[in-house]
A and B are shown apart, each in its own frame.
Chain A
Amino acid sequence: MATTIEAVAVASGRWPSRRSARRLADDAIRASVARAGVAASDIDLLLNAGLYRDRILGEPALAALIQADVGANPEDPHEGGHGTFSFDVANGACGPLTALQIADGFLRTGTIQHALVVASDADPGRGLAKRFPFAASGAAAVCRWDEGAGGLVGFRWETAPEDADLLRARVGFERGRNLLRIEEDPAFGERAAAWVGKAAAALLADHGLRPGDIDLVVPSPLAARFLQALPAHLGVAGDRLVAVPGAGRVHTAALLVALAAAQEQGRLGEARRVLLVSAGAGIVAGAALLVR
């Protein structure tokens, strides 16, 4: 018995009209619920883990706007129906993994039947960012509880506040206007991989596993420096990592983008033990074990 990831879908911002984090999230959700064979109204919990949205909206949670867009029980409460609860999770590029853990918690207690995790980023517009570094991209995953044996069986986290300055994003007032500045130190990828290695080692120890027992690693971020350093820190061969060509600049959606790629490449179906690993500003590093 465990939480399963039923379907994952990706939306990319190739067309200028689609370069809105909100629209990317909407598109990814519509595709993921269709793939999972459920309706948007079946979503009991909607978690948005994207960070860079139109105007850098602070209130309400972007999740509420997305919920209304996709028609997940947006109406006033009434007899004989059920609602959707939605909110945002903010944990850098680890947001989707945190959201999966939150969803897993409420699926485990039987409080909900379907959860949806979405993440998207795009240039916030209105001149807020001079050179927005991340790709306009979104992805969504539908989760449900499965009475069978497979699914998410554990999570582990490491935090390294001493490395907090390696990746920072701030909105501050400069020369008469608010500007978004995103600063990444070249050392971030290597340090993040090291902390992911620690989180993964602890997770494997929890389950009595060794690195050699892992069939597939689904990583986030998808940046080259991180991916190059990761196999050594995990103790797995490089070919066990899911490769997603051209996705190096995808930010919060990266884990779900990699998961979708693994599914498309047919590697997810073949793997018995899958490690989901993620790292973000903080440094926060997380690992989850998906067993089939």
Chain B
Amino acid sequence: MPSTWLMMEHSPNGGRAPHVARLESVGRRLPATRLTTGELMASTRHRTRIDLERLTGIRERRVSDGRENSLTLAVDAAADCLGRSRHRPEDLEVVVACSITKYRDGLVQWIEPPMSIAVARSIGATNAVPFDVANACAGMLTGVFLVANRIRRGEIRCGMVVSGEYISQLGVNAAAHVRTILSRELASLTLGDAGAAVILERAPEGSRGIEVAGFTTVSQHSELCLAYPAKHDLGARMFTNARAIHRAAIADMPFLLQETLDAAGLEIGDVDHVIPHQTSVRAIRKGLGKVCETLGDTPRNGVVVTVDRYGNTASTTHFVALAEELRAGHLHAGDRVALIALASGLEIGFVLFTVDEELVRTYGHDD
């Protein structure tokens, strides 16, 4: 029986996984159109009296003007990622697409073929094996877990995890239905559109790279957030019990984060930056505050928040935020970063890695 609750891999692991995986390049695509929370709430069909900005800390989010969709956002993010990478598209051995939304040509959701094939074709990844995974907002980190496993075993040297989320239509639909603060569609009003991509590769010997990755599904909470195509509205609708998710996350997170840190031989105070899934400023600060209180310390540089500017961009949030931090020069070689997934399922996962000089340089900074 495994000795941890999390399904966990840590590097290196002797003969069975002799290599370490590292993040080589991170890219993103944000639509140019900004939609403020004030504008969105002014569009609600019913007079709600909800101060969503005060409640969530979200000032605005980026939204597609209809010409961008899940596929174009993913392809543009992949191109940005490749533009910063030493790798050529044909070096990629896998392309894993991880979005919840798979919209092309406006709001047409593609069930098959998988989106990864279209992304790989668009970027010229002619040698890549493409496939999709779907794991709600934990999708991209799940993809990282899978690609890192293949790199660690030596099966591949280089692969891409990518996502594009054209998810703001759920907010448009929610605006037509939300009446009060208790509405189960309130969380849909926090969503924003974005694409993100990351290239993973085998790290040079002695590098830290991804030190630990661990995931679990606390499935007794699996029905707290459900999304599916709307019957008579364009796109989809999402129904969330945000309070219950928040409660479950605060209850389960300390135990699981401690397992992750123990596997790396670290304390939370040894972590420089925590990038959690971006739901709302208040939920992140309050939630992480309680988790750190239980663990008895805080990360050195606190928690990264981008939800105030971009909203909740679903499976892309961690890499939208990571790109933001790299762009701003906030990350330095040697910094330890904890990416924390919290998603419908209830999916909880952690990817703990160390930033290296090469990654910092992809955004034009020297360390």
Contact = CB atoms under 8 A, between A and B. Distances in A.
B247 to A, nearest CB: 11
Interface string A62-84: 01110110001111111001111
Nearest to B254: A77
Interface stretch (B46-54, B117-125, B302-310): B117-125
A104 B1 CA distance: 17
B219 A72 contact: yes
Nearest to A83: B216
Q: Which 3 A-B pairs have the closest CB atoms?
A: A83-B216, A87-B135, A60-B344
B89 to A, nearest CB: 14
B contact face: mostly helix, strand, loop, or mixed: mixed
Interface stretch (B224-232, B279-287, B291-299, B330-338): B224-232
Given A111-B9, A112-B7, A282-B114, A157 B129 contact: yes
A92 B231 contact: no
Given A85-B217, A164-B117, A169-B110, A109 B16 contact: yes
A219 to B, nearest CB: 18
Nearest to A91: B131
B241 interface: no
B251 interface: yes
13 contacts: A52-B111, A65-B223, A68-B220, A77-B252, A84-B216, A86-B217, A89-B134, A90-B131, A105-B150, A105-B153, A171-B111, A171-B229, A282-B117
Chain B's interface size range is: 35 or more
B206 interface: no
A189 interface: no
Interface residues of A, number: 70
B367 interface: no
Contacts, number: 230
Given A51-B112, A169-B111, A170-B110, A126 B217 contact: no
A245 interface: no
Interface string A150-180: 0000000101010010011111110011101
A77 B256 contact: yes
Contacts of A59: 100, 136, 225-228, 238, 344
A166 to B, nearest CB: 9
A106 B111 contact: no
Interface string B137-162: 01000100010011011010000000
A89 B132 contact: yes
B133 interface: yes
